């Protein structure tokens, strides 16, 4: 129950369903007030991990603590620490919005006299005031999704777990949900899973990518870019003698290399792709160096791999690592030392 304990601590978590391993040896820590995105292809084990975090499913092995309380031995205390929105957001069809929130508030042990004002507050925050007396079954998808979010934050728990909160929403509603989640930053710990990668990149402080039940990458989006690609990329459009370019580049940064070149165009300009191991911005030293060497430059941009690229690379990397190992095991030959899973 210590105030200093991390919000979520998962260590060597394993879950198997009748012989099929859904989650295999996952470990991660989420600090208080952090917003963490959980990424992974379908069937990677995201929902299973989230269900174990809530105490709804028991783990096969490993340990999970929420705010310092172990989930396996104190399931009832855990349920007071979390707000959970399951996958597909199941809601009772024949209740009114305010009735539903009142019922859930009572179950979550919010005192009766505080419950009314708190319901008004979450209805306001989630922009649900207009539909408070409507029957949930008649609401549109966007409203239903927001009812689910309102329910998750209702009791102001320290940890909020949302399984695909933005699925099926239009861009305007995604914006509202994103602002809503951002507004919780610092006050509550939020862990969300999503397929919409720009979404995660904009809202989350940190990203966990899992594939086939394993954590394949974790860190801030910038760290992941660095870790997965290991280099920065610049795109340059210039005219001049290319043979003399390499020494110029070397003088700016020894690791700067030409990896691709296209052209030259009719006007003499060429498009060149450069990569470097340096993470910091090189543009302001590169540009004067090129100009003083007599090159004519009309474009210099730093290419930002999107989280999508990181995600695809990370999951592909884990597939590559897993498949040969599986195949070798299947053939009953000696295991390949390179067949270990990345990270």
Closest CB to other proteins among 93 and 260?
A: 93
Nearest to 343 by CA among 327, 322, 312: 322
Integer CA distances (angstroms), 162 to 31, 32, 264, 329, in order: 17, 16, 51, 37
- Please select the residue that binds other proteins; options are 32, 74, 108, 132, rule is CB under 8 A: 108
- Please select the residue that binds other proteins; options are 79, 206, 214, 317, rule is CB under 8 A: 79
Contact string 45-74 vs other proteins (x = CB under 8 A): ------x--xxxxx----------------
- Please select the residue that binds other proteins; options are 12, 73, 94, 329, rule is CB under 8 A: 94
Nearest to 52 by CA among 220, 217, 213, 195: 213
Tell me how far apart the alpha carbons of residues 280 and 58 are, in angstroms, rounded to a whole number. 45
SS3 of 248, please? Answer: helix
Q: Looking only at residues 141 through 200 of this chain, which bind other proteins when binding is defined by CB under 8 A?
A: 151
Q: Is 219 left (phi over 0), alpha (psi -120 to 50) or beta?
A: left
Report the interhelical angle of 245-252 vs 283-292 (nearest 10°): 140
Closest CB to other proteins among 54 and 166?
A: 54
Please tell me what DSSP assigns to residue 339: G
- Please select the residue that binds other proteins; options are 12, 43, 92, 246, rule is CB under 8 A: 92
- Using CB under 8 A as the binding rule, whether residue 107 contacts other proteins is answered as yes
Q: Closest approach of Cβ 32 to other proteins, in Å?
A: 20
Rg (CA), the chain: 25
- Please select the residue that binds other proteins; options are 38, 84, 143, 311, rule is CB under 8 A: 84
**Chain contacts with other proteins (rule: CB under 8 A):** 17-18, 51, 54-58, 76, 79-80, 82, 84, 86, 88, 90-95, 103-104, 106-109, 151
């Amino acid at each position: 129950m210590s105030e200093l304990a991390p919000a979520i601590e998962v260590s060597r978590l394993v879950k198997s369903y009748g012989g099929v391993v859904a989650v295999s040896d996952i470990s991660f820590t989420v600090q208080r007030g952090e917003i963490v995105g959980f990424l992974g292809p379908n069937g990677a084990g995201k929902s299973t991990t989230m269900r174990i975090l809530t105490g709804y499913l028991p783990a096969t092995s490993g340990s999970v603590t929420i705010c310092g309380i172990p989930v396996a031995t104190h399931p009832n205390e855990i349920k007071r620490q979390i707000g959970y929105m399951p996958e597909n957001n199941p809601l009772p069809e024949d209740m009114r919005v305010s009735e539903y929130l009142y019922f859930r508030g009572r179950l979550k042990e919010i005192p009766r006299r505080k419950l009314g004002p708190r319901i008004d507050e979450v209805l306001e925050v989630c922009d649900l005031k207009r539909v408070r007396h409507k029957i949930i079954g008649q609401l549109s998808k966007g409203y239903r999704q927001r009812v689910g979010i309102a329910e998750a934050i209702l009791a102001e728990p320290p940890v909020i777990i949302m399984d695909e909160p933005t699925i099926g929403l239009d861009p305007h509603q995604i914006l509202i949900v994103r602002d809503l989640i951002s507004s919780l930053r610092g006050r509550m710990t939020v862990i969300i899973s999503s397929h919409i990668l720009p979404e995660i990149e904009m809202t989350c402080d940190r990203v966990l990518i899992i594939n086939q039940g394993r954590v394949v990458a974790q860190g801030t989006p910038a760290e992941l870019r660095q870790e997965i690609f290991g280099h920065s990329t610049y795109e340059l459009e210039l005219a001049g003698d290319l043979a003399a370019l390499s020494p110029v580049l070397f003088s700016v940064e020894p690791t700067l290399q030409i990896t691709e070149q296209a052209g030259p165009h009719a006007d003499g300009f060429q498009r060149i792709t450069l990569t470097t191991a340096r993470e910091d911005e090189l543009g302001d030293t590169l540009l004067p160096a090129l100009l003083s060497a007599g090159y004519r430059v009309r474009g210099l941009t730093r290419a930002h791999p999107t989280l999508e690229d990181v995600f695809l690379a990370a999951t592909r990397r884990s597939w590559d690592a897993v498949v040969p190992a599986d195949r070798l095991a299947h053939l009953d030959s000696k295991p390949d030392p390179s067949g270990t899973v990345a990270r």
